Structure 1
Amino acid sequence: MNFFERQRQVRRLSTRLVLLFVLAVIGIVVVVNVAAIIAFNATDADPAQLAGFVAMVTVATVAAIGLAALVRTLALRGGGGKVARELGGVPVPADTTDPELRRLRNVVEEMALASGVPVPEVYVLPEETAINAFAAGWGPSDAAVAVTRGALQRLNRDELQGVIAHEFAHVVNGDMRLNIRLMGLLFGILFLTVIGRGMARFGLISGAGRQRSSNSGGGGVNPLALVGLALLVAGYVGVLAGRLIQASVSRQREYLADASAVQYTRQTRGIAGALKKIGGLSDGSELKSPKRDEVGHMLFGEAARASWFATHPPLADRIRVLEPSFDPAELQRLSRQWAAAPPSGRQEDVALGLAPAGPAAPGQGVPPQAASGAAARPGAPGLPVAGTRVRLAPTEVLRRVAAPTENAYSHAAALLDQIPGPLLDRARNRETAVPLLLGLLLSAEPEVRQHQYAALAERHGRDLADAAIGQAQALAGLHPMLVLPLAELTFPALRARSAPEVEALLAAVFTLIHADGAINVSEYCLSRLLLAEIQELLRPDSRWRTDRRTLTDARSAAGFLLATLAQVGHAEPADAERAFQAGIGTLLPGSTVAYAPPENGVLALETAWPVLDGLRPADKERLVAAVVAVISHDGMMTVAEIELLRTICGLLHCPLPPMAGAGIG
């Protein structure tokens, strides 16, 4: 199952989620109506009055559920960081020197680069001693990854890497959007219990008061109390339905994420070891947070003790899929062993050679690159020269979308090693990340860069323009394969800035794109990708469906893209037309489309991206194949062309990892 097939599966799960939610609401409405009819003695009413009464109760019930779900969903528009903070999460500083936190940040950074997505926010849940983790957000640009303190303390680096890889599988597979939608819908269902509890309490109190004040000692039961009790019952019916929905939606996704984690890390011992520690330690994966049930479906392990409505497959089954020879009795042995001496992830790292021996002194944390494992990688391989040419077929690219190869993770770590330390520091720093990002986007052509500088100074101030030029000079000679990773590393620092500051950055990036229209296609696509990611960071797209267009709808936009790529990639018009037709043949077999490069160059694509990004998964798969066919018309691709391809895939939300294993890197 490749990335595009997984996207189709997520769409089917979304449809199932809506269907189950509707069925749950219908069941709740029936219970509430029956209780209301009994409570208000409406059984003797004439049919018309009864129908009106039922309609009124139905509308009120559905409105309460829908409004609560809407309010909760809107409250989650803050992205993954909002969810992490609600569970008591604390952000992990980008410049932390704590060994455990530094190890976590670097594992996350390496996994992000290996996956081809922006580096997410990183949180730790300091009050949770169990082993657990989750990824949350509407998309990769506003994602957050959180782990418990227990996971940091008990897991070694391989195990932590396996857990983080599992969570990144949820990030790139589109599960996060489904999960956060599920949180909103479940809140709507459970909201009735809140209303019911209040109505029942008020009704019982007022009924008791009337009874005490009545000379006859009568008064009966307050109908509000009956309705309130009915709402409580309906709410608990909703709880049952919610658990069933969680289990239905999430169980198979966990198996898929486990398999993806193995694909990411190319070893099973890490994620299997983490699962064994969950089974062998008394705390397991159980969270203390009162919100644990609401987020249970998005966690790495069960949030509570196993039940009939478990959101995850049985632990032993998950381990056995990874290690077919696993004997569940091993968990009992490990439990006895760890009861006396719980495992220490740091000590295991030392034993495995993944960390230096001896504890770090307070305030003397592990340097960022050393903590990432660079100490264990002396002499990382050099990067290929920009003109290196490799053979890369469309089918090979499609196979690699959101599916890092066996070398991608180590290749990402090696890329981090080869980014100069001062640049890494600037990318991770809240104050310097913006000038660095703008410096990355300045054109390499002196004349174009001067136009950009003038536009930036005029619209956003000379101080920012000077800072961007200074960073651009420091970036001179940066290898093409390091540009996109360095840009993605700035995202945690950008998230730390206020909304007005991010809006100003958006405007600055837009200014650079439109300074004079003379930037080349690689510079334009990188700028456009980062512009889109910053927009999504600021205003996450929470629509149910974003992939509704067909190739028929996108025919003109796709033609613009393929013609632009053909024109910039080939000096001779005849060669460019042949490359274009190769792309059209892949995209629209049997169709005849005239080769007509847009007159205003890359800026013609400004209106094309929303259309192309909205394609259905199957059509987007064909579009990516067509783009590869144009760029590699001669059967070969340079390093610069591969990085351009990665940027375009990013614009289409088809994350393409660094092409380690393609004959380069």
Structure 2
Amino acid sequence: MNFFAQQDRARAQTRRMLVLFALAVVCIVVAIDLVVAVAFGTMGDGRRHAYRAAASPQTGVLVVTTLLVLAVIGFSMLYKISSLRAGGGVVARQLGATLIDPYDPAMAGNFAYKRLRNVVEEIAIASGVPVPEIYVLEDEPGINAFASGYTTSDAAVTVTRGCLDKLTRDELQGVIAHEFSHVLNGDMRLNIRLMGVLFGILVIGIVGSKMVQWSGRDRDSNWQVFVGIALLIIGSIGLFFGRLIKAGVSCQREYLADASAVQFTRQSQGIAGALKKIAGLAEGSKLQSPEREEAAHMFFGDGVGYSALFATHPPLHKRILAIDPHFDPQELVAIAKAWSAPVEAFDAEGAEVSISGLAPAGAPGARASASASAGVLPQAGAAIALTPNKVVTQVAHPGSDDYRAANAIHTTIADALRAYAYSAERAPQVVLALALDAGAEVRAKQLALVGKYFGAATRAGIEEIAAAIADLHPMQRLPLAQLAFPALRKRTRGELQTFVIVLKQLIQADGRVQLEEYCLATLVSAQVIEALDPSKTITAGSSKLPDCAAEIADVVATIARYGNDDAAEAARAFQLGMREVLPDAKASYAPPEDFVRALDQALPKLDRLVPAGKELLVRGLTRAVGADGMVAVSEAELLRTICAALHCPLPPLLEQAA
């Protein structure tokens, strides 16, 4: 199942969730009305009292009760959704997780944190998405993880201390790749909405529990005890439907995410090893947090301990067998036995650690060196041939080649540059330095603008960073910016707005906008500014392709123009691209004079296309950019940037034709 089909699947699951939610609300309302009817003595005993009961003044009480219950459920749901509107980090913090700040000296020197951060950053680069916030549940010895957020721009990845202490690098990579599958396929948005919906139907039981607790302080509160117990019982209806909804939404997605992790890492031992340790060790994947019930559908493994009827995850042995058909249950006994004795492990990050039961992750030097990794990336001026159908299958589905490329990109970025990107103070300087022109005259004008807005110290900092990024490979520039995005998002709304204004002025300082400059500005808008209001972002709309014909023509014409030096070849590329998207359209090649304004107006509207429409659009754009048989690195980066604005993330290496 490709990315666009999974978008449709997520919509179907949302509709199913809403149907079950409506059924749960009806059951809760009817149950409470029955309790109120008994309390007020309005229950008739047969047909003789039916009309009298219906006409009695107590009927109004039932109407008021119904409206009151609906209001409580509705407002509770809206309150919970509102409390989560800031994005994935909110969910992590509600469960008691600690944010991993790579610029904090205490955290930067921690082996486990460094390994986790490297794995997350490499997978983010390979997936073509911003680096998410990283959290750790320090007090949870079980092996578990989850991803939360509305979009890739506000995503957060959280792991337990058990993941850090018990998993090898390959196993941790498998778990993180599994979670990124949820990030890429839009499962997070459904999950975070589900938290709000579930709170609405669970709130009745919560109210009942509080009433029982408070009633013990007052001797004349028998009625409160009665009402509280009744609400607790009725609350079990919400609990039943809540668990039913979570079970219906989660199970099949876990198989898909496991398969995606194997495809991505191109080895099954990692994620299979993590699942085997969950099955073989006493802690398993159980969580101790009192908030675990709300987020149970998000976890990598069963964090609550549900029965088969309400299971949010498939049985462990079935998940393991799906990945490792030769699995022998006796392996679990061996894992438990091995865990009783500590071993020395040399990790790929270059640190020797002594952790109970942790097998060596590889020989010294396992992590790719800069010189060895550099060959994975194409030469800066190279051009490659693309296959449109293959590129479409890459959307939100990176493979092992993408991971190797990401490892090369990540490893060969200097440690000093990564340190700048991690700093809340220096991260904006990193992005602004990437926008500086190579020409001395234009650069001087740009630096003067920086000094005007931010002062001499910031100007000096940008000049220092600019010197360090001069030799970056073109494919490393945008990933470096993405490394800076988590720190950049920590700035206030006003600071970010000023930052965006200055960035645009730097880009327009020479009176024209280069492709690289446009890509940088668009990524900042799509992946940083969007994170200010993530809950308002619409990643899959209802617009049809014919409704966006003018916008499609502008985007395809722009990408055809910059992919071909010859006007006739550009016109041919345009027609090939349009034929993929709108085969019956009679559009003529007319590239917009101001491509920046045209794309800025077109992309938000195209982002509201239905998933099937986006799939055809990506195929058409790929056909247009590769119509001459070859695609330069800068053209591929433009395609990736446009796809990012459409919430169709592409990995750094586009699939080449055979």
1:564-599 CA distance string (max 9 Å, x none): 222333333322222211111111012101222223
Q: How many residue pairs are counted as aligned between the two chains?
A: 637
Superposition RMSD in Å: 2.7
1:365-409 CA distance string (max 9 Å, x none): xxxxx9995367862233432221211011111011111122211
1:5-38 CA distance string (max 9 Å, x none): 1111111111111111111111111111111111
Alignment partners' CA distance in 2, 1:11 and 1:451: 49
Q: TM-score, normalised by structure 2?
A: 0.90
Structure 1 residue aligned with 2:220: 209
Structure 2 alignment gaps of length 5 or more: 44-51, 355-362
Alignment partners' CA distance in 2, 1:238 and 1:433: 46
Code of the aligned partner of 1:386: A
Structure 1 residue aligned with 2:79: 71
Identity of aligned residues (%): 46
Q: Displacement, 1:613?
A: 1.1
Structure 1 residue aligned with 2:357: none
- Are positions 1:243 and 2:243 aligned together? yes
- Are positions 1:651 and 2:645 aligned together? yes
Instruction: After superposing the two structures, state which structure 1 stretch, 499-508 or 640-649, moved more.
Output: 499-508
Alignment partners' CA distance in 1, 2:229 and 2:430: 60
- CA distance 1:129–1:419, change in 2 (3 Å): same
- Out of 529, 540, 548, the residue aligned to residue 554 of structure 1 is 548
Structure 1 residue aligned with 2:411: 417
Alignment partners' CA distance in 2, 1:443 and 1:283: 55
- Are positions 1:504 and 2:498 aligned together? yes
- Are positions 1:182 and 2:175 aligned together? no
Structure 2 residue aligned with 1:303: 303
Structure 2 residue aligned with 1:384: 378
Structure 1 residue aligned with 2:34: 34
- CA distance 1:202–1:251, change in 2 (3 Å): same
Alignment partners' CA distance in 1, 2:551 and 2:60: 52
Structure 2 residue aligned with 1:317: 318
Code of the aligned partner of 1:105: R
Q: Displacement, 1:645?
A: 1.5
- CA distance 1:177–1:629, change in 2 (3 Å): same
Structure 2 residue aligned with 1:141: 153
Q: Displacement, 1:546?
A: 4.3
Q: Displacement, 1:498?
A: 4.0
Alignment partners' CA distance in 2, 1:249 and 1:533: 27
Q: Displacement, 1:170?
A: 0.8
- CA distance 1:517–1:33, change in 2 (3 Å): farther
Contact 2:374 2:412 in 1 (8 A): no
Code of the aligned partner of 1:301: G
Q: Displacement, 1:447?
A: 6.1
Structure 1 alignment gaps of length 5 or more: 211-220, 361-369
Alignment partners' CA distance in 1, 2:651 and 2:539: 25
Contact 1:163 1:300 in 2 (8 A): yes
**SS of the residue 2:135 aligns to:** strand
Code of the aligned partner of 2:83: A
- Are positions 1:589 and 2:583 aligned together? yes
Q: Displacement, 1:311?
A: 0.9
**SS of the residue 2:146 aligns to:** strand
Q: TM-score, normalised by structure 1?
A: 0.89
Structure 1 residue aligned with 2:47: none
Q: Displacement, 1:294?
A: 1.0
Alignment partners' CA distance in 1, 2:175 and 2:245: 24
Structure 2 residue aligned with 1:272: 272
Contact 2:395 2:649 in 1 (8 A): yes
Contact 2:523 2:645 in 1 (8 A): yes
- CA distance 1:198–1:85, change in 2 (3 Å): closer
Structure 2 residue aligned with 1:522: 516
Q: Displacement, 1:240?
A: 1.0
**SS of the residue 1:471 aligns to:** helix
**SS of the residue 1:397 aligns to:** helix
- CA distance 1:663–1:486, change in 2 (3 Å): farther
- CA distance 1:450–1:593, change in 2 (3 Å): farther
Structure 2 residue aligned with 1:626: 620
**SS of the residue 2:470 aligns to:** coil
Structure 2 residue aligned with 1:637: 631
- Out of 366, 374, 384, the residue aligned to residue 367 of structure 2 is 374
Alignment partners' CA distance in 2, 1:139 and 1:373: 33
Contact 2:126 2:651 in 1 (8 A): yes
Contact 1:94 1:492 in 2 (8 A): no
- CA distance 1:284–1:602, change in 2 (3 Å): same
Q: Displacement, 1:354?
A: 3.5
Q: Displacement, 1:457?
A: 4.7
Structure 2 residue aligned with 1:364: none
**SS of the residue 2:295 aligns to:** helix
Alignment partners' CA distance in 2, 1:229 and 1:47: 30
**SS of the residue 2:547 aligns to:** coil
- Out of 119, 139, 153, the residue aligned to residue 127 of structure 1 is 139
Structure 1 residue aligned with 2:335: 334
